[in-house]
Amino acid sequence: MKLFIGADHAGFELKQKLIPFLRELGYEVEDKGAFSYVEGDDYPDYIIPVAKAVAANPSARGIIIGGSGQGEAICANRFKGVRAVVFNGQYQPKDGRKVPHEIEVSREHNDSNILSLGARFLNEEETKAAVRLWLETAFSGDPRHLRRIKKIDEIIS
């Protein structure tokens, strides 16, 4: 599987650690920048190329990294066919409820194809575990989920 990756200054260091990890797992990784640390750079400059590449390559996925991952996902989701989700750590209820893992649901139900990570919320090991789980979790293909994804894609023409 081909992976496109991009990050601004806040995610630059984490991106640099993820690329060799992903290649060791056997993925083809194309870095869309930033290619050097530039404090105060603008995340759309690196997220737009990832989103465009994923939109043009339905079998590919993308990983985008910023401070919170929120703005990055908003930017990526402007492109038809992109389903970017934010992950900043798995929610752990304090009242004893069991909740599904967000990463698994994002793949199984939503066929997410871009994972947006918040570098200010995740450490390297948490990030690697989340990315691995996201890459290894398959879309269920359930007709109700396909129907919903189609409705989402029809919003952006």
Catalytic site residues? 72, 109
- What is the rounded average pLDDT of the residues 14-30? 98
Distance CA 3, CA 44 (A): 18
Q: How confident is the model at residue 157 (pLDDT cuts 50, 70, 90)?
A: low
Of 3.30.70.270, 3.40.1400.10, 2.40.50.140, 3.20.20.70, which CATH number belongs to 2-91+98-155? 3.40.1400.10
Residues 67-79 have a mean pLDDT of 97
What's phi and psi for 66, nearest 5 deg? -145, -165
Q: Enter the pTM of the model.
A: 0.95
pLDDT at 62 (0 to 100): 98
